[in-house]
Amino acid sequence: MTGPFVLPVRDIAHRSGEMREHELEVPAPGKWGEGLVAVEAGEPVDLDVRLESVHEGILVSATIDSTYRGVCGRCLTDIAAPVEVEIQELFAYPGSEATDFEVQDDHVDLETAVRDAIVLSLPFQPVCQPDCPGLDPATGERMATSTGSHDSEPIDPRWAALQDYTPDHDDEAPRLGVENTEES
């Protein structure tokens, strides 16, 4: 039995109470996820695994860390974010009641359990930031909330009009003053 997520359990099988811990870093063997974001093939997947021998088989507990990549569901910007999930699955000895997972040839293969847990935890509507403003309905451009990269854009026409009324028009203020005086 081979595979990136296969662990040996020969030394604890049928010895209830025995426990082993493993740390793995495995590249994802394929793309996990079909939505806007996915864990891409080759993305490192970190596992902290605890194998416990119990009466029915091997109880596998694992914390899984990886990174999903894709696009924001609102503005289509590329995003990447960490994903962490925990699993606990019983790998039963062969011949026991039907279970999802079995100990095979003194090994357990965690790949299906890990993949399914990751895929289920991926967001259906991922966003680049919680308050992503999405796309401008007029231009189709991203409605940026930040900073710096838009200095070269033309001034909004509404503000351009106001620029005609800046305080350095020397002839404006005295005239206003005269009007105010007449009214009072």
**Site residues, Zn ion (CB under 5 A):** 72, 74-75, 77, 128, 132
Chain center to CA of 21: 27
In angstroms, give the least distance from the CB of 120 to Zn ion.
Answer: 23
Residue (146 or 180) nearer to Zn ion, CB? 146
Half-sphere exposure (Cβ direction) of 71: Cα atoms closer than 13 Å: 10
- The DSSP symbol for 174 reads H
Token duo for residue 160:
């351009």
Residue (67 or 104) nearer to Zn ion, CB? 67
In the chain, the amino acid numbered 69 is R
In angstroms, give the least distance from the CB of 80 to Zn ion.
Answer: 13
In angstroms, give the least distance from the CB of 71 to Zn ion.
Answer: 8
The residue behind tokens 């009072």 is 184
In angstroms, give the least distance from the CB of 151 to Zn ion.
Answer: 21
Token duo for residue 5:
């997520």
Half-sphere exposure (Cβ direction) of 146: Cα atoms closer than 13 Å: 6
Residue (23 or 78) nearer to Zn ion, CB? 78
Query: Distance (Å, rounded) from C-alpha 157 to C-alpha 139?
Result: 16
In angstroms, give the least distance from the CB of 116 to Zn ion.
Answer: 28
In angstroms, give the least distance from the CB of 143 to Zn ion.
Answer: 9
- The DSSP symbol for 155 reads P
The Cβ of residue 137 has, within 10 Å, a number of other Cβ atoms equal to: 7
Half-sphere exposure (Cβ direction) of 26: Cα atoms closer than 13 Å: 19
Residue (13 or 75) nearer to Zn ion, CB? 75
